[in-house]
């Protein structure tokens, strides 16, 4: 694991990790317990690290600041790969569905933006600077945020 990956893993800046590595002083605090766990169980980091990207689109599904699911989509072949990091179905992008289809993915995207039948939709699209209704484009602009929940999406 690189310094940058480790910094993201423990939610600190890369310069902090660099300072720890170059300092003559011993590191103290809660991080030492985590490092001990990682040293004793070297597969822990591999189990929760992000897999190599599959397809043309990668979507990260978050609850507040916690990554819950990773969705890789090959738009051309219409294939979907799902990686869940949450254990509770409520926090998984597709609930208990571990093998979503391309149609499930399309329905999921549409559920994270305003409906096709919205009154005065052209005005909403103009506000987003979009020429037509496309759930993926809408989600890219709005991050899939909804007024009634704390879930959001990051499209790569």
144 lies in the same domain as 70: yes
61 lies in the same domain as 12: no
74 lies in the same domain as 144: yes
Domain boundary at 48, 68, 85, which?
48
143 lies in the same domain as 113: yes
144 lies in the same domain as 120: yes
Separation between Cα atoms, residue 83 and residue 89, nearest integer Å: 13
Determine the structural domain holding residue 33 and report its residue range. 3-48
- The per-residue pLDDT for range 16-58, each reduced to its tens digit, is 989 988 988 888 888 888 878 877 887 776 666 778 899 999 9
79 lies in the same domain as 18: no
Number of domains in the chain: 2
- The per-residue pLDDT for range 59-113, each reduced to its tens digit, is 999 999 889 999 999 999 999 999 999 999 999 999 999 999 999 999 999 999 9
68 lies in the same domain as 105: yes
Separation between Cα atoms, residue 60 and residue 47, nearest integer Å: 17
62 lies in the same domain as 44: no
30 lies in the same domain as 71: no
Scanning the structure block, which residue is given the tokens 């609930």? 95
Scanning the structure block, which residue is given the tokens 């993926």? 136
pLDDT band at 10 (very low <50, low <70, confident <90, very high): confident
Choice between 20 and 144, residue whose per-residue pLDDT is larger: 144
Instruction: For 93-144, give the DSSP string.
Output: TTTT-SS--HHHHHHHHHHTS--TT-TTHHHHHHHTT-SS--HHHHHHHHTT
Smallest Cα–Cα separation from 63: which of 150, 143, 154? Answer: 150
In contact, 153 and 61? CB cutoff 8 Å: yes
């Amino acid at each position: 694991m690189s310094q940058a990956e480790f910094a993201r893993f423990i939610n600190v800046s890369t310069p902090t990790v660099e300072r720890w590595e170059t300092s003559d002083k011993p590191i103290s605090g809660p991080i030492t317990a985590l490092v001990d766990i990682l040293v004793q169980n070297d597969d822990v980091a591999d189990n929760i690290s992000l897999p190599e990207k599959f397809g043309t689109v990668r979507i990260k599904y978050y609850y507040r600041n916690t990554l819950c699911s990773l969705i890789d989509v090959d738009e051309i072949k219409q294939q979907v790969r799902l990686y869940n990091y949450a254990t509770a179905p409520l926090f998984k992008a597709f609930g208990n569905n571990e093998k979503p289809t391309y149609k499930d993915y399309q329905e999921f995207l549409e559920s994270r933006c305003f409906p096709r039948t919205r009154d005065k939709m052209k005005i909403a699209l103009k506000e987003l600077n979009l020429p037509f209704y496309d759930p993926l484009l809408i989600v890219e602009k709005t991050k899939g945020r909804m007024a009634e929940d704390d879930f959001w999406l990051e499209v790569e």
